Amino acid sequence: MPVPTVALPAQQRGSAPTLSTIGLFAFVVLAWSLNWVVMKLAVQEVTPLWAVAIRTALAALVLFPALFAARQLVLPSRTDLPVILVIALFHMVAFSSLMTAGLVFVPASRAIVLGYTTPLWVAPAAFLFLGERVSARQVAGIAVGIAGLLVLFKPGSFAWGDEAVLLGNGLVILAALCWSVSIVYTRAHRWEATPLQLMPWQCLLATIVLVILALSVEGAPPPRIGTPALVALTYNGVIGTALGFWAMTVVNRRVPATTASLGVLATPVVGIGLSAVILAEGLDPLLVVSALTILFGIALGAKGRG
């Protein structure tokens, strides 16, 4: 699953995207798209909290030695401790756990669409808590995005009487709200270390919290994990999380923040296609219409940020 992008100061970015930047961007979109598919496979065998705990631990095991070898591993300062805490708890623990639990009840393609409603909640939250001005174009984008979301829940196309369906969709939407908390705080935080330098510490803290939660809620870890689930968790931790975040950090340094934000919107589109092919979920026309409407609203709002 994806991680929030963080806009870096203009002087840290290059001018025009090169072929390597485009390649890294394509890698990020494909890696994050596959995250949803592989986690759907993982939760068929491993309980949600243990699945997230294992993949987060694997990401930490990759990031610590990789940053040490690159001489980028630093002890976080007191100034950066709050952002480590917020991202670890709201994104790596709350978002990932709720989203993974939701995947038990809903198709991966639907979870992708609901998960990517996060930007719709960021603008009003930033207005309320950061005092950021909301432009007319952003208001229009939010309205369009919410209209797209409502398409998924219109009577006759949604099983309102099925408790499992209601629970799954509710968990995914709650996960998106938790992700928005993380994004809003990262906007307000005054960074000392880079996002990449702080990520191993966030993974470490999240792993500790997730293991405690998993032991308390789900009991002992699974005694054995089958090959498909193990491959899925390894992919999610190493490629989807560790390498994906590194690649997105590089892209963020090279292209404007709006370009990065709009480019990442390709992720749910690719994810829906991969879910249809790999998981044989099919292409629900209503889901496609909803996804495109939501993404159009997000793109409209992103362009309105100036």
Amino acid 48: pLDDT: 92
Give φ, ψ of 174 to 5 degrees.
Answer: -65, -35
pLDDT score recorded for residue 8: 43
pLDDT (average), residues 227-236:
91
What is the distance in angstroms between the CA of the first residue and the CA of the last residue of the chain?
28
Q: What is the pLDDT of residue 69?
A: 94
What angle, 0 to 180 degrees and rounded to 10, lies between the N-to-C axes of helices 108-115 and 96-103?
150
Q: Minimum mean pLDDT among 105-114, 170-179, 283-292: which range?
A: 283-292
Contact of 252 with 6, CB cutoff 8 Å: yes
Q: What is the mean pLDDT of the chain?
A: 84
d(CA 26, CA 59): 21
pLDDT at 4 over 60: no
Query: Which pLDDT belongs to residue 17?
Result: 55
pLDDT in tens, 76-130: 999 999 999 999 999 899 999 999 999 999 898 888 888 888 877 877 887 777 7
Using 50, 70 and 90 to split pLDDT, how confident is the model at 151? confident
Going by C-beta distance under 8 Å and a sequence separation of 6 or more, which residues neighbour residue 201?
A: 76, 84
pLDDT for 256: 66
Rg of the chain over CA atoms, in angstroms? Answer: 19
Per-residue confidence band for 156, with pLDDT thresholds at 50, 70 and 90? low
pLDDT higher than 80, residue 288: yes
**CA proximity to 17, closest of 197, 253, 205:** 253
pTM of the model: 0.81
Q: In the structure, what pLDDT confidence band is assigned to residue 259 with cuts at 50, 70 and 90?
A: low
Average pLDDT rounded to a whole number, residues 205-209: 96
pLDDT in tens, 59-69: 999 999 999 99
Token pair recorded at residue 257: 């923040």
Q: What is the pLDDT of residue 7?
A: 43
pLDDT at 14 over 60: no
Residue 24, by phi and psi: left (phi above 0), alpha (psi -120 to 50) or beta?
alpha
Do the Cβ atoms of 220 and 49 come closer than 8 Å? no
Specify the length of the chain in residues: 306
Residue 9's pLDDT band (cuts 50, 70, 90): very low
For residues 108 and 279, is the Cβ–Cβ distance under 8 A? yes
Q: What is the pLDDT of residue 93?
A: 94
